[in-house]
Structure formats: structure tokens, C-alpha cells
């Protein structure tokens, strides 16, 4: 199943045509509403510039946060419009609604090479509705913004695993194509899924085993090693009989983890020491302890130095590395060492071993930027955490199928 890409659309010609683009602008904001990591905005620019330079009238849809179908000012795309204006070198107006009067009036008024951003699509409850008819109705309203000769470009990789109106249903209303970002993500991640060069090492973090259960099982069949860190490693340690005290724990998944260890024990790599604290706090006291030595009432917030060394050595010896999920609470400098060790080892593997290294989006990508590491040191940094995991796992992604031939 081949993607229909933006290159096909550009070859057909877009001069004077309305093109509806679904981007992923779900960026983190600080308490003042400032964007703290513009990575997803930066990733959208090549597709938008190509369309604008070709004379298209571009209308962009996107979401931010989880407003749950209501207008909430804190989730407005206003800061995104400002960031886009700066990066594109032209004014990007923001419609006050999603598919209403203001959006239509502004879309109708666009001239060649102009761009419009409409408000957060998740302000409309139909965007994420489980009712096919409701989503189709909203998709028809979005498609109407692109007029009779319009086209749709899917370029928000972070949402292609969602069967939502602006991602999936709208592709049935207009000629649909994959943007540069989605095409690159699918090509790169499919190569890891279908033909990884061995040794192949997967590094998985994150808080819950239940969120990663499918991917652990799928990748343990293909990978040479599956390294486990982050909050979910404590459920595995509990399954081994260790008392993890107040560390994050999914009691209902302990038995499942025991089965995973029994089935894939030769491939799963678990911590041998931990960085612990008496409380979940940025300035908390830090101690390095063995697996059975967590002080009563304390919690682990990162893997320990011996574990970090073991994980880094495994990564540096691999030819393909896929990483999704930090090793600890990287937002706290005192508990970022494990995450930094894995990320640095990936950079070294890329440089020294010619390894193909992929950062699977989400918090992993955010940690690379927060820790000040060289983004160019990795083969690929994905913009979609959940989407990259599901693609690697082998699941069908609705937003990708919608732009495939």
C-alpha cells in the first residue's frame, strides 16, 4: 500500500487552489502560555512552505491539549499562529472559530500563497466523537473550507493513529495526500519495523506497563534486547519479588510482567540499581541503592548508574536502536542521568558504529531537547509518540490508510 504524497499534488498543480492541511501543533506550554518545545511546529514548515511557494491557499487545522469539545482560552492556537508567522516569514491569521463563519470568511478571502490557521479542532466535540456520522458531519464542514477544487494534506504524524474527523474522515471528502513529515515518518519507521539491521535494541520507558504491553510483546519477537526503564520497570521488579516501596506500581500488571519475564527473560533487560528519593520533588534528596535496599516510604525516580552503564553498553553495541520513553523523571535534573545516558549512547552509536537510531517521539523527543543534546546526532526523531509505537508494533494507522492508494 503506497502513500499518495504531496509531490503528487504539487505535480498536479496547486496554484490558486485551497489546500486543507492537518498539522500536529500539540506543543507544550508554560504557565504563561509560551511554547516550551516548538519541535512539532518546526517539523511542519517544509510542507507548508512547499504549498505556499507553489501558490496554494493554505488552511491549517490542528489541536492543542484536551479541551474536550469546549472552547477553552488556555488551549487556543494563538501562540502557534505567532510561532508560524515567525518561521514562515509571513503573517498567519487565526480564525476565531473552527469551521464557522469567521473561518469560512477568512478562507474565502485567501489569495495565492496565503495561509490561515483555524482554531483548535478539539473545541468541537465532533472531532473525537465515536459516532461515525458526527465525525463525518464535522469533516464535511472542514472540507467545505477548501472549496470545490480543494485538496487535503495529512501532515500531523502525531495524530495519524487516531480515527478523528480532521485526520481520517476529511480524507474521504477531498483528494487526500501525505505531507512531507508523514511520508518521512512512515518510511523511516517502516524500515525499522520491517527490516531492522541486527543487533536490534529497543529501549522502552514510560509510566505504565499496560500502555506498552502490546509493543513489548511485538518487539520482543523481533529485537535482540528490550531494555525496560521508566515508571513501568518497577512493576517488572515487583514481579521479580523486589519491594519497590512507594515507586510507581501497577498491581494488576505484576502477574503479566511475571509472564513476560518467563517468556522473554533472555531478551528483557531490567535495572540492577536505582536512584531513589523520599518524595516526588525536584529538589528531593537522591540516593543510589540496590534493588532490595529502597528505604521505607521512598520511591525510585530514575535508574541507577550501574543500570545506566549496562543500558548504554547495549545501545552502543547495536546496529538498530528504537527508543520510546524516558528512563526516569528527566524534568528533574537530579533524576535525568538515566535518560541522558541512553540518549548519549544512541548518539555515540550513530557516530561511531553507523547505527540507525530512532527516537520514538513524545517525552523521549522532549527530553533530547530539554537535556540540550544534539538532535542531529540521531538518525531520526519522530514527532509522534503513540503513532510511532503503533506503527512499529505493526498496527494499522487510520490516518495513514486514508492517504494510501
| Residues labelled as active-site residues | 40, 208, 362, 386
Distance CA 106, CA 108 (A): 5
Which residue in this structure is represented by grid cell 523523571? 329
Q: Which of 122, 119, 116 is nearest to 51 (CA)?
A: 116
Helix, strand or coil for residue 184?
A: helix
Residue list for the binding site for substrate: 24-26, 40, 63-66, 122, 162
Q: Which of 174, 108, 110 is nearest to 139 (CA)?
A: 174
Q: And the C-alpha cell for 122?
A: 478539539
Backbone angles phi, psi at 381, to 5 degrees: -115, 115
**Following DSSP, what letter does each residue of 319-358 receive, concatenated?**
SEEEEES-SS-TTSGGG-HHHHHHHHHHHHHHHHH--EEE
Residue list for the binding site for (2R)-3-phosphoglycerate: 40, 122, 162
Are 382 and 351 contacting, i.e. CB atoms less than 8 angstroms apart? no
Are 385 and 372 contacting, i.e. CB atoms less than 8 angstroms apart? no
Number of Cα atoms under 13 Å in the Cβ half of residue 196: 24
Distance CA 378, CA 272 (A): 27
DSSP letter (8 states) at residue 162: S
CA distance to 56, 108, 143, 306, 401, per residue, from 146 (Å): 11, 9, 5, 56, 21
Number of Cα atoms under 13 Å in the Cβ half of residue 186: 27
Residue list for the binding site for ATP: 212, 331, 361-364
Ramachandran class of 269: left when φ > 0, alpha when ψ lies in -120 to 50, beta otherwise: beta
Amino acid at each position: 500500500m503506497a502513500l499518495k504524497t504531496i509531490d503528487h499534488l504539487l505535480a498536479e498543480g496547486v496554484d490558486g487552489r485551497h489546500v486543507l492541511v492537518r498539522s500536529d501543533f500539540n506543543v507544550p506550554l508554560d504557565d504563561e502560555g509560551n511554547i516550551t518545545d516548538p519541535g512539532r511546529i518546526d517539523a511542519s514548515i517544509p510542507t507548508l512552505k512547499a504549498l505556499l511557494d507553489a501558490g496554494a491557499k493554505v488552511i491549517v487545522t490542528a489541536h492543542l491539549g484536551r479541551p474536550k469539545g469546549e472552547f477553552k482560552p488556555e488551549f487556543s492556537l494563538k501562540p502557534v499562529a505567532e510561532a508560524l508567522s515567525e518561521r514562515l516569514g509571513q503573517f498567519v491569521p487565526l480564525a476565531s472559530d473552527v469551521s464557522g463563519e469567521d473561518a469560512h470568511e477568512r478562507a474565502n478571502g485567501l489569495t495565492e500563497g496565503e495561509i490561515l490557521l483555524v482554531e483548535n479542532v478539539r473545541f468541537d466535540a465532533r472531532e473525537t466523537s465515536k459516532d461515525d456520522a458526527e465525525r463525518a458531519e464535522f469533516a464535511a464542514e472542514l472540507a467545505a473550507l477548501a472549496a470545490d477544487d480543494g485538496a487535503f494534506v495529512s501532515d500531523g504524524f502525531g495524530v495519524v493513529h487516531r480515527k478523528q474527523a480532521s485526520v481520517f474522515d476529511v480524507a474521504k471528502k477531498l483528494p487526500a495526500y501525505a505531507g512531507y513529515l508523514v511520508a518521512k515518518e512512515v518510511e523511516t519507521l517502516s524500515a525499522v519495523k520491517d527490516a531492522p539491521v541486527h543487533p536490534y535494541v529497543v529501549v522502552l520507558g514510560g509510566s505504565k506497563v499496560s500502555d506498552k504491553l502490546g509493543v513489548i510483546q511485538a518487539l520482543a519477537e523481533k529485537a535482540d534486547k528490550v531494555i525496560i526503564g521508566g515508571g513501568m520497570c518497577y512493576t517488572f521488579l515487583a514481579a521479580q519479588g523486589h519491594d519497590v516501596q512507594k515507586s510507581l506500581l501497577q498491581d494488576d500488571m505484576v502477574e503479566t510482567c511475571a509472564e513476560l519475564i518467563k517468556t522473554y527473560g533472555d531478551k528483557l533487560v531490567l535495572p540492577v540499581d536505582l536512584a531513589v528519593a523520599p518524595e516526588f520533588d525536584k529538589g528531593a534528596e537522591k540516593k543510589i541503592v540496590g534493588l532490595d535496599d529502597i528505604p521505607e516510604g521512598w520511591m525510585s525516580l530514575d535508574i541507577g548508574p550501574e543500570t545506566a552503564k549496562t543500558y548504554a553498553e547495549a545501545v552502543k553495541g547495536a546496529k538498530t536502536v528504537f527508543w520510546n520513553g524516558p528512563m526516569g523523571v528527566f524534568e528533574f535534573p537530579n533524576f535525568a542521568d538515566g535518560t541522558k545516558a541512553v540518549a548519549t549512547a544512541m548518539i555515540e552509536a550513530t557516530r561511531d558504529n553507523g547505527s540507525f537510531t530512532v527516537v520514538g517521539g513524545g517525552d523521549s523527543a522532549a527530553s533530547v531537547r530539554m537535556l540540550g543534546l544534539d538532535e542531529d546526532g540521531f538518525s531520526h526523531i519522530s514527532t509522534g509518540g503513540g503513532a510511532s509505537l503503533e506503527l512499529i508494533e505493526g498496527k494499522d494507522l487510520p490516518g495513514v490508510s486514508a492517504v494510501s492508494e
